[in-house]
Amino acid sequence: MTHLILLFLLTLLSVDVKGPPASAVVRAAGSTKEPLPEDRALPEVDTAAPEVEAPDAADPLAEILSEPTSPEGGSPEEPTPPDRSAIGAGPDWLRHRFPKRQPFNPRKDQPGSPVAPQASDRAHAAAARTVEARLGGEVGRIRARLGADHLVVVKGDYDNIEHVLEAFGLPCLLLDRPELLKRALRADQILFINCALPPPDNEQAPYVRRVREFVRRGGWLMTSDWAIDPYVTAGFAREVGARLKSDGRYQPDVIVDAQFCAGAGDHPLVKDIFAGRERAPWWIEKASSFFTLQNGSDAMPLVRSEDLDAKYGAPVIAFTYTAPNGGRIAHLLGHFHQKTEHADGIAGMQHLILNFVRMKYPSTE
């Protein structure tokens, strides 16, 4: 009798060991998952479309991965740009459509706009061939004269002049920004500073002093877009007198009609950049830093845009300043390495950069 009772109790307490607990189920690919216990349920997924984020400067793939999906020529937030055929920039302009653009969000203020990298690369390659042919053997003669560190490039968050120099086979020394404070600079060098977020306010002073002393000793400096601040705005506040416009970082990407400033068309820095025309298209990056030159400035404006003057009261696109001892500054609105398919505008920028190098290292022939 006792044995029968024990057998009955064991039957009641037996455990089904044919399968594991639900929390440890692992099924073959393609099968349906069993629901998780309630205390481990997945969070509810928000099906609403995520807000478009500006590219993360720390991630080199961010701009490629965030390519716009809006149709070419605009986005729902920005109407299709008007026909520019009446601007007068010449037939080369008319062969190019406006590049694809990100939806404009004024809360995001990083510059630049991603386009298909292959299309941009093709446009840069085509422009480089055009410019080098236009200059004949001049590029080759410059290339032969340059040492490995005559052209010094400070890396940027958003711009890459090193790619432009590489397209022409010109060697350059590429530095991270902190290296600018450690490496000795010489008067026979050109320093290019790519568009980037400025150093924190409490760290700017040594960079400003280093760049100012470099130019005062005869060095040449070229900056793009955001790099005007603080190297030019603070470093040469009295001489250049460039002031940033407070609303300059809230415009979308746009191609504007650019023209030479009065009397500047024959200046060696901009000579022939428009291929014999008086005006041409110029690519302005999203969130570019517009600026004005104050009365009494010793800087010489070279290129301007009536479009920018009418909309932002900041017409100057490019200017130069020459220090008493021969040091020189040139600043350009927009990027050295433009993220666009507009080959005509790219060629103008490339030619201007080469002009700067040619002025520093003139050909002996």
At 288-335, the pLDDT tens digits run 899 999 999 999 999 999 989 988 899 999 999 999 999 999 999 999
Quick one: residue 276, left, alpha or beta (phi over 0 = left, psi -120 to 50 = alpha)? left
Could you tell me the pLDDT band of residue 340, with boundaries at 50, 70 and 90? confident
Q: What is the pLDDT of residues 173-222, one digit of tens each?
A: 999 999 999 999 999 999 999 999 999 999 999 999 999 999 999 999 99
For residue 84, pLDDT over 90 is answered with no
Q: What is the pLDDT of residue 17?
A: 41
Would you tell me the crossing angle of helices 138-145 and 343-360 to the nearest 10 degrees?
A: 50
What are the boundaries of each domain within the chain?
110-360
* Of the options 1.20.200.10, 3.30.420.10, 1.20.1090.10, 3.40.50.880, the CATH number for the domain spanning 110-360: 3.40.50.880
Hey, how many other C-beta atoms are within 10 angstroms of the C-beta on 347? 24
Could you identify the residue written with the tokens 């460039």? Answer: 242
Mean pLDDT, rounded, for 100-127: 56
Residues 145-161, mean pLDDT to the nearest whole number: 95
Mean pLDDT of 87-100: 33
The whole-number average pLDDT for the span 44-71 is: 36
Q: Strand, coil or helix: what is 3?
A: helix
CB 345 within 8 A of CB 89: no
Residue 361 pLDDT > 70, yes or no?
yes
Banded pLDDT at 24 (limits 50, 70, 90): very low
Instruction: Report residue 179 as tokens.
Output: 């290296």
Is residue 277 within 8 Å of 242, Cβ to Cβ? no
Q: CB–CB of 245/219 below 8 Å? A: no
pLDDT for 332 equals 97
How many Å separate Cα 52 from the centre of its chain? 18
Cβ 140 vs Cβ 164: under 8 Å: no
Q: What is the pLDDT of residues 240-281, one digit of tens each?
A: 999 998 765 667 778 888 999 999 999 999 999 998 888 888
Work out the mean pLDDT of the chain and round it to a whole number: 75
**pLDDT for 89:** 32
Please report the pLDDT score of residue 75 as a whole number. 33
- Which pLDDT score is estimated for 136? 86
- 49 burial type by CB count under 10 A (0-12 exposed, 13-18 middle, 19+ buried): exposed
**Most confident by average pLDDT, 12-21, 59-68, 70-79, 274-283:** 274-283
Beta strand spans in 164-285 (E): 173-175, 190-193, 220-224, 242-244, 254-260, 279-284
- The 10 Å CB-count burial string (b at 16+, else e) for 105-133 is eeebebbbbbbeeeebeebbeebbebbbe
Q: Which residue has the higher pLDDT, 84 or 288?
A: 288
